[in-house]
Every structure is written in structure tokens, then in C-alpha cells.
């Protein structure tokens, strides 16, 4: 095997969160040489626990990812702590498909036959004092992740100023976890149909401007309106705006999906760019952590199937990158 060939990975997974780590595991178990380049900024890093993850009892995000990474050690998976900031397509004679050369912010350089983007999303929080300080603890976004722990307690749904319909829908959702839910619209008026929908769900509405989310010693007290009224609450759920965590997809020329947030993919995780795939919330924003991992495992299987076709077209024999015990 030529030196350049020996350095080339079958798949470079960009992003080592739940999706990236699971894709690396699935591909490593398929006897592929895998590289993970991870910036180390999983979206839920500020949360105390990961809830609703089958088989795990509310681990911290760091513990869950550390366990995921430990499972990769027995496979041919290399892990680089870096951020991919460059991508160059390589069209080599004799290869049935282009390869990719990646560059990291710390100067790393790697080549791979295929790339899997598992680069996640970032959340833009409402511009209300106190939200950022309590984010991931008493201020959260997703009732399916964090509703159970505060079920039956006084809850706030903080709407997104200028988008009252989204606040209404989130408050209706949240009403299944507590009979005491207040929607704070932060100054937006509600239409009559919106009010009757809230009433049907048992949700109260406050349309005054919000001054702050009040907290003391890291603990939530409640929501204070501009008129000075303080509403004591046990948790605040917010509506967030999402965007890609980094511009990794753009480096490869991948098109965005219709929502303008995700990378556009087909049903198997292929972007429109040859050899570039996407999985997890980078491709399907609504996925929970376990869903991101599951989606990535499925995309990794499709990716491996595509590599098998390339192996045959290029006459590559099966390779066992980790020695087989006699
Ligand atoms: C506060 C909060 C709490 C949450 N709680 C829960 C919960 O309890 N249960 C649950 O199921 N879900 C929860 N979620 C949702 C959960 O975080 C996501 O579903 C999950 O993180 C998605 O995994 P992912 O691998 O797609 O992306 P991420 O976990 O965001 O991982 C993306 C990774 O890609 C890396 N990356 C990005 N760009 C680059 C680049 N250019 N080069 C190298 N690396 C890059 C990042 O550094 C990061 O490590 C929560 C979310 C938030 C915000």
C-alpha cells in the first residue's frame, strides 16, 4: 500500500457528538478506517443531565460522550480535537469517486474517501436577562427532554418576541406536563383563535413585556414583567432560533434544506455533493440525542454500502484495520 493510501481514512466524521460518535462506532465495526474531528462543543453541554436516552439513567452530557468515545477504542477510529475549517476535493486517476482533504483550525490535515457531517446545531436564546445564565438548568427548550422532572409544577413558556404563534404551540405542548402553565408573550398580542387554543389547553397568557428571568444563587425564582409583577415559576421553557453550529457544510458546497437550518439530504443521508453525507441534528434538527445517534447509525450503514460499491469498482480488497485474534 502506498504511503498516501495508508494515511487515507475511509470516512472522516466531522463532529463527535451523539451522531458523530455513533456513526464512528457503526463504521468502525464495519472494518472501516475512521477519523473523527470534533470541536468539543456538543449542543447540550450546559445541561446537567441527558434525559430520555434509552438504557442510560440521566448521565451528564460529558459522561455519556466519554462512554461513547471509550467504546471506539477497540476499533480503527482516530479522534482529533479540532475544528474543520477547510475542505478540498481531490479527483485522483483510478479512483471511482473524489476524495476529500480536510484542514483543521489547529493545522491538522487529513484525507478521506468520504465525509460524514455530524456538526449539530446552535441555539440562539431569547434576548431576555437571566435566560443565558440559567440555560440548560432551570431554563430549557424541550419538554420531551426536561418536562418529566418538573411535571405538575408551575411552569413558564417564554415566547419569541415577534413570533407569538410559536409560543402558543410550545405552551400547548407544555400543558401536558403541568396544569399550571403561563405563556409569556413578551409584548406580543394574541389573536382570538390563539387565545381559545390556549384556553382549551388550560394555559394562561401574560402579554406584558418581560423585564427579566429572576434568579438567586443559580436558582430560578420566576419571571418579572416590565410592570414589576413577579410570577414565581419552577422552570422556564423558551423558544429558540436554530442555526448550524459551524459552516462545515458550506465548506463542501452542500445545499441547505428548505428550513434554512439543516443540510439537505436524501432519505439515506447523502447530500448533493459526491462523497459527503450528513447525520444527526445537522440533517434533521428536531432529533433528540438518542434519535441523533440512531439516525447516524442508519446513515453510516448506507455510507458503508456505498463504500462497498466503490471498493468493488476500484478493486479494493477487504481490509481488517484491527488485527483479528487467532
Ligand atoms: C440545553 C439542552 C439540553 C438538552 N437536553 C437533552 C436531553 O435531555 N435529552 C435529549 O435527548 N436531547 C437533549 N438535547 C438535544 C441534544 O443536545 C441534541 O439532540 C444532540 O446534541 C444532537 O446531537 P448531534 O450529534 O447531532 O449534535 P451535537 O451534540 O451538537 O454535536 C455536534 C458536534 O459537532 C462538532 N462540530 C461542529 N462543527 C464542527 C467542525 N467544523 N469541525 C469539527 N467539529 C465540529 C461540535 O463541536 C459538536 O461536538 C438538549 C439540547 C439542549 C440545547
Which positions ≥6 away from 174 have C-beta within 8 Å?
143, 147, 155, 157, 181, 203, 237
DSSP 107: S
Q: Is 248 in the pocket of ligand 1 (CB under 6 A)?
A: yes
Residues pairing with 85 in the sheet: none
HSE (side-chain half, CA atoms, 13 Å) at 171: 31
- 47 C-alpha vs ligand 1 centroid, how far in Å? 11
CA 298 to centroid of chain Cα atoms: 16
pLDDT tens digits along 223-239: 999 999 999 999 999 99
For ligand 1, whether the C-beta of 46 sits within 6 Å is yes
User: 251 C-alpha vs ligand 1 centroid, how far in Å?
Assistant: 20
Ligand 1 geometric centre to CA of 121 (Å): 7
Rounded to whole angstroms, the Cα distance separating 59 from 102 reads: 33
Is any ligand 1 atom within 6 A of the Cβ of residue 120? yes
Distance 324 CA to ligand 1 centre (A): 34
Listed in sequence order, the residues at least 6 apart from 33 whose beta carbon sits closer than 8 Å to its beta carbon are: 8, 9, 10, 11, 76, 78, 319, 321
- The pLDDT tens digits of the residues spanning 27-51 come to 999 999 999 999 999 999 999 999 9
Give the CA-trace dihedral at 132, 138, 144, 149, to 10 degrees.
170
> At 325, is the pLDDT very low, low, confident or very high (cuts 50, 70, 90)?
low
| This prediction's pTM | 0.95
The answer, yes or no, to whether any atom of ligand 1 lies below 6 A from the CB of 43, is yes
Separation CA 62–CA 16 (nearest Å):
12
CA of 55 to the centre of ligand 1 (A): 19
Rounded to the nearest angstrom, the distance between the alpha carbon of 27 and the centre of ligand 1 is 20
What is the C-alpha radius of gyration for the chain, rounded to an integer number of angstroms? Answer: 23
CB-ligand 1 contact for 26 (6 Å cutoff): no
- pLDDT at residue 159 is higher than 50: yes
Q: What percent of the chain has pLDDT over 90?
A: 92
Q: Report the run of H or E that residue 289 belongs to, with start and end.
A: helix 289-314
Cα separation of 239 and 249, whole Å?
Answer: 25
- Can you tell me the distance from the alpha carbon of 191 to that of 167, in angstroms, rounded to the nearest whole number? 13
Nearest to residue 9, comparing CAs of 100, 107, 105?
100
Q: What is the predicted pLDDT for the residue at 326? A: 59
pLDDT digits (tens, 9 = 90+) for 96-110: 889 999 999 999 999
- Of 236, 245, 251, 252, the residue with max ligand 1 atoms within 8 A of its CB, to mutate for a pocket test, comes to 245
Query: Residue 73: how many CB atoms within 10 A of its CB?
Result: 9
Residue 219: pLDDT over 90: yes
139 bridge partner residues:
135, 236
Q: What is the pLDDT of residues 120-156, one digit of tens each?
A: 999 999 999 999 999 999 999 999 999 999 999 999 9
Is any ligand 1 atom within 6 A of the Cβ of residue 18? yes
C-alpha to C-alpha distance for 272 and 317, rounded to whole angstroms: 28
Q: What is the pLDDT of residue 2?
A: 40
| Ligand 1 centroid distance, CA of 134 (Å) | 18
Closest residue by Cα to atom 16, ligand 1, is 289
Q: Which residues share a beta bridge with 215?
A: 220
**Range 293-309 burial, b when 16+ CB lie within 10 A, else e:** bbbbbbbbbbbbebbee
| Ligand 1 near 16 CB (within 6 A) | yes
Amino acid at each position: 500500500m502506498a504511503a498516501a493510501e495508508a494515511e487515507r481514512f475511509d470516512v472522516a466524521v466531522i463532529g463527535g457528538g451523539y451522531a458523530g460518535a455513533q456513526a464512528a462506532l457503526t463504521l468502525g465495526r464495519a472494518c472501516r478506517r475512521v477519523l473523527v474531528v470534533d470541536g468539543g462543543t456538543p449542543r447540550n453541554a450546559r445541561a446537567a443531565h441527558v434525559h430520555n436516552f434509552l438504557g442510560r439513567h440521566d448521565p451528564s452530557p460529558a459522561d455519556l460522550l466519554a462512554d461513547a468515545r471509550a467504546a471506539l477504542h477497540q476499533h480503527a477510529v482516530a479522534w482529533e480535537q479540532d475544528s474543520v475549517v477547510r475542505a478540498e476535493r481531490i479527483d485522483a486517476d483510478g479512483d471511482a469517486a473524489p476524495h476529500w482533504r480536510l484542514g483543521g483550525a489547529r493545522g491538522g490535515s487529513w484525507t478521506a474517501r468520504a465525509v460524514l457531517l455530524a456538526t449539530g446545531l446552535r441555539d440562539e436564546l431569547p434576548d431576555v436577562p437571566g435566560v443565558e445564565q440559567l440555560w440548560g438548568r432551570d431554563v430549557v427548550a424541550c419538554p420531551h427532554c426536561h418536562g418529566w422532572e418538573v411535571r405538575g409544577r408551575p411552569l413558564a413558556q417564554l415566547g419569541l418576541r415577534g413570533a407569538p404563534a410559536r409560543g402558543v404551540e410550545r405552551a400547548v405542548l407544555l400543558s401536558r406536563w403541568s396544569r399550571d402553565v403561563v405563556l409569556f408573550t413578551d409584548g406580543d398580542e394574541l389573536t382570538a383563535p390563539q387565545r381559545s387554543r390556549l384556553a382549551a389547553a388550560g394555559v394562561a397568557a401574560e402579554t406584558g413585556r418581560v423585564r427579566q428571568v429572576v434568579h438567586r444563587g443559580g436558582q430560578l425564582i420566576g419571571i418579572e414583567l416590565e410592570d414589576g409583577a413577579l410570577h414565581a415559576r419552577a422552570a422556564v421553557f423558551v423558544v429558540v432560533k436554530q442555526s448550524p453550529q459551524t459552516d462545515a457544510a458550506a465548506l463542501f458546497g452542500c445545499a441547505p434544506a428548505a428550513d434554512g437550518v439543516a443540510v439537505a439530504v436524501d432519505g439515506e443521508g447523502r447530500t448533493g455533493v459526491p462523497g459527503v453525507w450528513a447525520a444527526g441534528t445537522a440533517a434533521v434538527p428536531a432529533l433528540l440525542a438518542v434519535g441523533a445517534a440512531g439516525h447516524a447509525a442508519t446513515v453510516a450503514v448506507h455510507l458503508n454500502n456505498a463504500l462497498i460499491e466503490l471498493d468493488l469498482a476500484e478493486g479494493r480488497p477487504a481490509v481488517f484495520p484491527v488485527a483479528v485474534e487467532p
